[in-house]
Amino acid sequence: MGEVRTIKIQENITAPNDRRAQETRSMLSRKGVFFLNVMSSPGSGKTTLLTALINRMKEKVRIAEMDVDITSTLDAQRVADATGVRAMQIHNGGLCHIDADMTARALQDFSTDDIDFLILENIGNLVCPAEFDTGAHKNMMLLSVPEGDDKPLKYPLMFSVSDIILITKTDTAPYFNFDVEAAKERILQLNPAARILCVSARTGEGLDELEELLMKEIDTVKKQADS
């Protein structure tokens, strides 16, 4: 079994979130660590996709993962067992999101000296996590086919703050009336700069493209740190 530590972090509501987030981003930029925050509703497939992605990328770059959950250690354990990379479970005291201060305090206990790529699996929620900058360089979100193509209309903030938007579980398309073009149009109306990819952790569709996109981000942060 992979080893997983757990840290309990309660929210400090007085911390000015954006300043704290910027401090984390600058600290990681100086070290050349690309930090990706991954969000979606519960069960969209974050852990499954990240596990597949880490296994494809772990020989090329050094990766660590943090998972946020209310009480369980299931996701960090799943990632540690399935990939062998260093994983941390953050228990956030029952909140439905994680903010910059909680992320920063978790990082005090989780070394980022020996990695190139830090992933945060945020808590499953399409509303709150979008309101808090965690200090990540980029936000990535998943919209799975079973959830429906209307979600950009119902949860616009999440789609607006995400740089990379994955339409996932595309292997289930035959069973759902998910209109990919309509979803893309709705997303681009909210967020014209969004990179939208269709992926499936089951079939591997789109994972080459996603890996390539993330490798570019990792390279960019690394080059800026070296210069």
Ligand X SMILES: Nc1nc2c(ncn2[C@@H]2O[C@H](COP(=O)(O)OP(=O)(O)OP(=O)(O)O)[C@@H](O)[C@H]2O)c(=O)[nH]1
Which of these ranges, 2-10, 39-47, 95-103, 156-164, lies near ligand X under the rule CB under 6 A? 39-47
Q: Which of 77, 200, 218, 221 binds ligand X (CB under 6 A)?
A: 200
Q: What is the DSSP letter of 174?
A: G
Q: CB 44 → Zn ion: shortest distance, Å?
A: 17
Q: Which of 83, 124, 143, 221 binds ligand X (CB under 6 A)?
A: 124
Q: Which amino acid is at 50?
A: L
For Zn ion, the nearest residue by Cβ is 128
Contacted by 169, from Zn ion, Mg ion, ligand X, none: CB < 5 to 8 Å by type: ligand X
Contacted by 97, from ligand X, Zn ion, Mg ion, none: CB < 5 to 8 Å by type: Zn ion
Which of these ranges, 3-11, 63-71, 121-129, 140-148, lies near Zn ion under the rule CB under 5 A? 121-129
User: Rule CB under 5 A: is residue 69 a binding residue for Mg ion?
Assistant: no
Residue 147 and residue 41 in contact, taking contact as beta carbons nearer than 8 Å: yes
- The bridge status of strand 117-121 relative to strand 34-39 is parallel
- Following CA atoms 121, 127, 128, 133 in sequence, which dihedral angle do they give, to the nearest 10 degrees? 60
User: Rule CB under 5 A: is residue 157 a binding residue for Zn ion?
Assistant: no
User: How far, in Å, CA of 92 to CA of 9, rounded?
Assistant: 5
In the three-class reduction of DSSP (H, G, I as helix; E, B as strand; rest coil), residue 49 is classed as helix
CA-closest candidate to residue 103, choices 84, 140, 129, 142:
129
**Which pair of tokens denotes residue 221?**
């942060």
User: Rule CB under 6 A: is residue 168 a binding residue for ligand X?
Assistant: yes
When the beta carbons of 64 and 90 are compared against Zn ion, the nearer one is: 90
The upper half-sphere exposure of residue 8, i.e. CA atoms within 13 Å in the direction of its Cβ, equals 3
Q: Which of 24, 37, 75, 92 binds Mg ion (CB under 5 A)?
A: 75
User: Rule CB under 6 A: is residue 46 a binding residue for ligand X?
Assistant: yes
CA-closest candidate to residue 218, choices 138, 142, 160, 159:
138
Q: Which residues bind Zn ion (CB under 5 A)?
A: 96-97, 128
